[in-house]
Structure 1
Amino acid sequence: MKKTFEIAEHQRSLASNVCFLMRYAARIIPHYYLLQVLHLIAAVSLYYLTVWIPQQAVALVQQEPSFSGYLMGLFGPLALFFFSNTGRDWLRLYLEGRSEGSFSLISYDLHRRILETDYENIDGAAGQMKVRQALAYISENNRIFETLHLLLPSLVIFLLFAVQLFRVDVWILLSILLTSFLVWQMGQRSNQAIFQKEQKIQETLRKGQYLSDKGADYSYGKDARFYSIPRWFSTLYEEILAKVRRLAAQIFLHKLRYLTGVELLNVARNLLAYFLVLRRFYAGAMSLPEFIFYMGVVHKLSESFDTILTSLKSLQLASRKVDQIRDLLALNDHTRRDGTTFPEGFFQKPLALILEHVSYTYPGAEHPTIDDVSLRIPMGQKLALVGLNGAGKTTLIKLICGLYTQDSGTIRVGGLSRDEVDLNQWFSLFAVVFQDVYALPLSLKENITAGAALDEDKLEHALQSADLSALTRRLSAGLETKLVKSVYDDAVDLSGGEMQKLMLARAIYRDAPFLILDEPTASLDALSEERIYRAYHEISAQKTALFISHRLASTQFTDRVILFEDGKIRQDGTHEALMQQKGPYRTMYQAQSHYYSSDAVSKTPPAEDPCHDF
């Protein structure tokens, strides 16, 4: 059965997600759970004292003590109030301030998981959307702990005062519970609608972020001025902002309807509860101090329940977002990650690359991108994999490198399949230069060594082989020069050709048995491409090399050419042999040959069918 790599969506309980966050907070704050208990005790004591102290004050007045006796009678309760209030505030400030650091820890774990999980888990538009949403939610959830510190004491106070009212008049308690239940139901429906609207806003803002990024990219400045791009950007921006405003207005209306309904129910609840308490007082069932106390209990019970509902509403919305974060952290890998290394003597034998009946279909696609491909590449062979865009060349390379897992068939190196060793061990077999090249915001040297141990001789060899030595001499900081100017003020941004050389230097420094170049010159003109492939050919003299391109400059320097079409091998042979055949390779080469050197063109035999439809 075809595997799917969509990120599984789970809706966990609110308690589960709160415990998840608290576990992260406990990794940041020493004695976290003890401090939470102390905060809870201080907060509950404070709430209770605000109701009990007025009762004691009235009771003392009725006893007609002296003024000093009255003050002494209130000194103890007021001292307790002061210490409870101060302790609660200090603990809350400390816990909330330190708890926010837990989101940095979550962000670290999330980024690390994204970088380490199977590439297929996060590849594609759907996977990238999940990643962006989860990362955005981290920054939105920094008030969760503040909400928790309101919710937990309110829950305890509600239970405590509910018992008090139940003992006095069950109808008072039932009236509060009934109206509060209606408020809860309204909040549930409101939450669901708001979350769906916020999801749509996130999807819309993703498009706006792309426009924002490109609008701020100075490399687009020349085109923007010549081709009326600002008007195009403005039109798209206005459409996006209009949609966001519509969705925001809908969210506002949901919140307005909810708040209006809540306020009406709260008024009805409080009037009913106060009426029932007053009736008992005038019926002689309560003394004046008791009346004062239970009026305070009704008020605090209603207030605590409002806090519970508001907090739960906020936490439920946040919990849906925490689900997204936990879904990414809980991604299942389908590759081997147990540290298994290559068997002894593995690198002393010929490392032929063999594909047997390999097929691969992207999730949701109707037809396979790689369709029953069998291929053997002997050690040391230089192979050019060519074909039109979309033929499946890059997908095949991802399968070979271990980024994708084939649906059927086997891929072996030296008789060993990818599943027989740890995935990172398999990665170590390949030095790859992909189509899209990016410099990391590190030094030039760190970009070349890419986390590997520094070897000065290897580094010098990589610099010379990639023709980067002259560049490093021109830079004032040499190899310590920082790259990516948008991150460091004193950094430099490399040109396209310099970036190609940097990626080549990194691949040379890696010194892997297989060198794979996946359309690394797609943005260059044909003559520049030919010069770069000549350099690649010389550097890969002692390695097995695969050159992937839809252009054919690479084929003159390889031992073998494979033309890929619709996920299948259409032609396989040397450049000379394929040029003798009346096939698509010859037609394609002839169509491109006038872009290359005159020497390359002179080697091309005349075509008998120049109008062949490739």
Structure 2
Amino acid sequence: MTVSKTKNRMLANIIYYLRIWHRTFPAGILLILLSVPLTILSIYYQIRIPQLLIKGIECGDSVQATLLAILYVFLIMTICKMLMEICRTKLMTRGSRPMMWLYSVPVHDKIFSMPYQQLISADVQNQIVKLESITTRGGDGGPIHFFGVNFSGFLIALTGMAVFTREIVHINPWLLLAMLMSTVLHLVYGIYAGKYTERNMRERSDSEKKERYIIRTVEDRHYAKDIRLFRLLTHLKRLFRVYHDEHASYLKKESNVQAGSVLISALAVFTRDVLAYIYLTHQLLSGILFVSEFVYLVALVTHFSMWMNHIAQNANDLIIFSAQMKQFRAFIEMDTEENEGTLAADTVSSQPEIVFSDISFHYPGSDKLIFSNFNLRIAPGEKLALVGINGAGKTTLMHLLMGLLTPSCGRIMIDGKDSRDFIKEEYYRLFSPVFQDITVFPESIAANIAGNDRVNKEKLHSVIKTAGFSDYVHDLPDKERTKLVRDSADSAIDLSGGLNQRMLLARALYKDAPINILDEPTAALDPLAESRMYEEYDTMSQGKTSIFISHRLASTRFCDRIILLENGEILEEGTHQELMKNKGAYFTMFEAQSAYYQEDLCEEYHFMPFSEPLKSLKKGGIV
């Protein structure tokens, strides 16, 4: 996996995120900028009111003049505070919009465009968990959720210090130096805390991912029966506690580091304020300052000290924000480019030849070869069966064929054309797969079959009928417009396993690609239902190159050729009759399965073994 080459420094990450604000919440940038002068003016006039009152008394001004001056200042202060609170409220309530857009659009655009092989890798899955944690779970989402408020606070503190530094220096330069030293100390610790948080995020991602997997499993109603009937709840609770405690220990360590930042901040504020109060009190008692000046300067030093503290605190938040933004940018800017060719799907015949030439493959992060120098030719229009035990490499081989996985070396040829020479989307058009895993989208039956809302109704009704699905669809109130996935809408329904398989068959028929791939689509069905379904698949495969994968050998007897895979190698191949005649591994597996399925059918459908009726008839004197 190639990561972004961007250094992702804090300033670069702030600018990057402000661009997102400009795109999704442009008014937010104006609110951030407006909050700066409004807050500074509000604070300035707030500390001026006591000074004006005392100065009026000191100078013997009239009550009316003093009250009017205070009223004028109070009015400006109130307007500024009111506008400032509006800005802050808007930033608080709508400031998460850019982050949600960042997660919803660029992140998921990257997921949609990412090659399948890269998407299923452990590194990418861990990164997705981190981004989900930052965005939707709260987790450490604070700094990025409240970026607008934090950034405006940082700008306010910087501006306030810049405006009033001259007055602090005028009081005593050493006082400013003491304030700066305490702030630097706080800032240095804040940098350490931010780096620690970034490292902590990386280290806890594994336990966090496992904890969330268990939560999703327990929440998913599809697992509810198994969890209860197989008494898995106690086991899942135990695992959840283990992963939750691991995750919590990381969060506790992080919170302790953050608590240290708060403690240092409190000590720094205490030191600055004590020094400032002692010095100003000495100046007042020495007659150097008037009471009005003393009141004003004490308030000014207090706010100046607070701004310095905010700079350190906001800098700490921005460091954590930058660490989180680094996670987003590393994912979004990840290199996912594939070398695409120029060939289109229409350059392939309706019954293409398929050749695997010296294919080797291992999954990312593993050195174990699934295939090593594997070779296979599938003739045009051939019906090929791949059989073998679980883990033999059948599904992996089909994923390689369909371009979902990329061979470590070797070539896959379609009608003599290298699969890498095709445009990716065009290459996908060559295949009509029916997988064992049932994928149903929360859309209408028609959209699930056609793959979009633009449906050719005549073609749709034809494939529904061919798939043996029409009687059921016709009886539904909304027919093919019926929504699926019950959790997605009040009127939505769930289909049974058999009906789902028929809908997937209709989906494959609707696509009408030149290569059919059926990867154990009937594994959940009983032998009789499977046999009927495979007869329909046989009809569907006429005039196409078809590959059938099944762990039930009897279901694939109609195929032109059967290949028995074991550990990524061809153990035996031939027609069903040839393999049975050879009495090798295929023969042994077939005989074992035949005995098992015959007994299973007898029990399930109350059939007698084929030998039993003859014995019964003889006992009754009929034969």
Q: Do these two structures clear the TM 0.5 threshold for a shared fold by scoring above it?
A: yes
> Which residue of 92, 109, 113 maps to 1:112?
109
Measured against aligned partners, the alpha-carbon deviations of 1:402-430 in whole angstroms (never above 9, x if no partner) come to 11222212223233333333211111111
Q: CA RMSD in A?
A: 2.9
Measured against aligned partners, the alpha-carbon deviations of 1:324-344 in whole angstroms (never above 9, x if no partner) come to 222222221232469x5628x
Partner of 1:409: 410
- CA–CA separation in structure 1 for the residues paired with 2:89 and 2:529: 62
Measured against aligned partners, the alpha-carbon deviations of 1:360-394 in whole angstroms (never above 9, x if no partner) come to 12122222212112222233211112222222222
- 1:185 maps to a residue whose letter is V
Partner of 1:386: 387
Distance change (3 Å), C-alpha of 1:568 and 1:159:
farther
Q: Please state how far the C-alpha of 1:492 moved relative to its aligned partner.
A: 1.4
Distance change (3 Å), C-alpha of 1:498 and 1:215:
same
The answer to whether structure 1 residue 156 and structure 2 residue 159 are counterparts is: yes
- CA–CA separation in structure 1 for the residues paired with 2:62 and 2:46: 24
Residues 533 and 557 of structure 1 are in contact (CA less than 8 Å); yes or no, is this contact kept in structure 2?
Answer: no
Residues 529 and 553 of structure 1 are in contact (CA less than 8 Å); yes or no, is this contact kept in structure 2?
Answer: no
Q: Please state how far the C-alpha of 1:303 moved relative to its aligned partner.
A: 0.8
- 2:65 maps to a residue whose letter is G
Partner of 1:316: 319
Partner of 2:344: 342
Identify which range, 376-385 or 235-244, moves more after superposition: 235-244
The answer to whether structure 1 residue 577 and structure 2 residue 578 are counterparts is: yes
Partner of 1:603: none
Q: Please state how far the C-alpha of 1:217 moved relative to its aligned partner.
A: 4.2
The answer to whether structure 1 residue 144 and structure 2 residue 141 are counterparts is: no
TM alignment of 1:189-208, pairs within 5 A: 189-194=192-197, 203-208=206-211
- CA–CA separation in structure 2 for the residues paired with 1:170 and 1:231: 66
- 1:232 maps to a residue whose letter is H
- CA–CA separation in structure 1 for the residues paired with 2:343 and 2:32: 46
- CA–CA separation in structure 1 for the residues paired with 2:27 and 2:268: 41
> Which residue of 123, 127, 131 maps to 2:124?
127
Partner of 1:101: 97
Partner of 2:439: 438
- 2:344 maps to a residue whose letter is F
Residues 60 and 73 of structure 1 are in contact (CA less than 8 Å); yes or no, is this contact kept in structure 2?
Answer: no
TM alignment of 1:286-325, pairs within 5 A: 286-325=289-328
- CA–CA separation in structure 2 for the residues paired with 1:138 and 1:415: 48
Q: Aligned to 1:537, what secondary structure does the other structure show?
A: helix
Distance change (3 Å), C-alpha of 1:410 and 1:286:
farther
The answer to whether structure 1 residue 230 and structure 2 residue 230 are counterparts is: no
Residues 129 and 205 of structure 2 are in contact (CA less than 8 Å); yes or no, is this contact kept in structure 1?
Answer: no
- 1:442 maps to a residue whose letter is E
- CA–CA separation in structure 2 for the residues paired with 1:148 and 1:217: 39
Q: Please state how far the C-alpha of 1:61 moved relative to its aligned partner.
A: 3.6
Residues 20 and 102 of structure 2 are in contact (CA less than 8 Å); yes or no, is this contact kept in structure 1?
Answer: yes
Partner of 2:520: 519
Residues 13 and 325 of structure 2 are in contact (CA less than 8 Å); yes or no, is this contact kept in structure 1?
Answer: yes
- CA–CA separation in structure 1 for the residues paired with 2:45 and 2:448: 63
> Which residue of 81, 86, 93 maps to 1:85?
81
Q: Aligned to 2:390, what secondary structure does the other structure show?
A: coil
The answer to whether structure 1 residue 590 and structure 2 residue 588 are counterparts is: no
Distance change (3 Å), C-alpha of 1:197 and 1:37:
closer
Structure 1 unaligned residues grouped into runs of 5+: 599-614
Q: Aligned to 1:405, what secondary structure does the other structure show?
A: coil
Partner of 2:34: 38
Q: Please state how far the C-alpha of 1:310 moved relative to its aligned partner.
A: 2.4
- CA–CA separation in structure 1 for the residues paired with 2:48 and 2:232: 69
Q: Please state how far the C-alpha of 1:168 moved relative to its aligned partner.
A: 3.9
Identify which range, 285-294 or 149-158, moves more after superposition: 285-294
- 1:134 maps to a residue whose letter is L
Aligned residues: 592
Measured against aligned partners, the alpha-carbon deviations of 1:300-351 in whole angstroms (never above 9, x if no partner) come to 121112222222323332332222222222221232469x5628x6245863
Residues 527 and 596 of structure 1 are in contact (CA less than 8 Å); yes or no, is this contact kept in structure 2?
Answer: no
- CA–CA separation in structure 2 for the residues paired with 1:352 and 1:45: 78
- CA–CA separation in structure 2 for the residues paired with 1:172 and 1:155: 18
- 2:114 maps to a residue whose letter is T
TM alignment of 1:591-610, pairs within 5 A: 591-595=592-596
TM alignment of 1:461-610, pairs within 5 A: 461-595=462-596
Q: Please state how far the C-alpha of 1:584 moved relative to its aligned partner.
A: 2.8
The answer to whether structure 1 residue 188 and structure 2 residue 201 are counterparts is: no
Measured against aligned partners, the alpha-carbon deviations of 1:14-51 in whole angstroms (never above 9, x if no partner) come to 22222232222222234554443233222232233334
- CA–CA separation in structure 2 for the residues paired with 1:115 and 1:277: 64
TM alignment of 1:137-286, pairs within 5 A: 137-139=134-136, 140=138, 141=141, 142-194=145-197, 203-282=206-285, 286=289
- 2:535 maps to a residue whose letter is R
- 2:496 maps to a residue whose letter is S
- CA–CA separation in structure 1 for the residues paired with 2:489 and 2:236: 28
Q: Please state how far the C-alpha of 1:472 moved relative to its aligned partner.
A: 0.8
- CA–CA separation in structure 1 for the residues paired with 2:320 and 2:300: 30
Identify which range, 194-203 or 66-75, moves more after superposition: 194-203
- 1:441 maps to a residue whose letter is P
The answer to whether structure 1 residue 72 and structure 2 residue 68 are counterparts is: yes
Q: Aligned to 1:562, what secondary structure does the other structure show?
A: strand
- 1:342 maps to a residue whose letter is A
Partner of 1:16: 12
- CA–CA separation in structure 1 for the residues paired with 2:22 and 2:95: 8
- CA–CA separation in structure 1 for the residues paired with 2:596 and 2:117: 37
- CA–CA separation in structure 2 for the residues paired with 1:337 and 1:488: 39
Distance change (3 Å), C-alpha of 1:362 and 1:241:
closer
Measured against aligned partners, the alpha-carbon deviations of 1:484-524 in whole angstroms (never above 9, x if no partner) come to 11222322111111221121111111111111112222333
Q: Please state how far the C-alpha of 1:356 moved relative to its aligned partner.
A: 1.8
- 1:463 maps to a residue whose letter is I
Identity across the alignment (%): 28
- 1:211 maps to a residue whose letter is I
Partner of 2:620: none
Partner of 1:333: 336
Q: Aligned to 1:70, what secondary structure does the other structure show?
A: helix
Measured against aligned partners, the alpha-carbon deviations of 1:463-493 in whole angstroms (never above 9, x if no partner) come to 1122111221232222122211122232211
Residues 50 and 296 of structure 2 are in contact (CA less than 8 Å); yes or no, is this contact kept in structure 1?
Answer: yes
Partner of 1:610: none
Distance change (3 Å), C-alpha of 1:211 and 1:97:
closer
Distance change (3 Å), C-alpha of 1:404 and 1:537:
same
Distance change (3 Å), C-alpha of 1:301 and 1:597:
same
Distance change (3 Å), C-alpha of 1:177 and 1:293:
same
Q: Aligned to 2:74, what secondary structure does the other structure show?
A: helix
Distance change (3 Å), C-alpha of 1:16 and 1:434:
farther
Identify which range, 273-282 or 538-547, moves more after superposition: 273-282
Q: Please state how far the C-alpha of 1:250 moved relative to its aligned partner.
A: 4.0
- 2:524 maps to a residue whose letter is S
- CA–CA separation in structure 2 for the residues paired with 1:77 and 1:261: 36
Q: TM-score, normalised by structure 1?
A: 0.87
- 2:324 maps to a residue whose letter is K
Partner of 1:427: 428
Q: Please state how far the C-alpha of 1:597 moved relative to its aligned partner.
A: 7.4
- 1:438 maps to a residue whose letter is T
- 1:335 maps to a residue whose letter is E
Structure 2 unaligned residues grouped into runs of 5+: 600-623
- 1:152 maps to a residue whose letter is L
Distance change (3 Å), C-alpha of 1:391 and 1:177:
same
Residues 47 and 157 of structure 1 are in contact (CA less than 8 Å); yes or no, is this contact kept in structure 2?
Answer: no
Q: Please state how far the C-alpha of 1:96 moved relative to its aligned partner.
A: 4.0
- CA–CA separation in structure 2 for the residues paired with 1:595 and 1:527: 14
Q: TM-score, normalised by structure 2?
A: 0.86
- CA–CA separation in structure 1 for the residues paired with 2:224 and 2:421: 50
- 2:183 maps to a residue whose letter is S
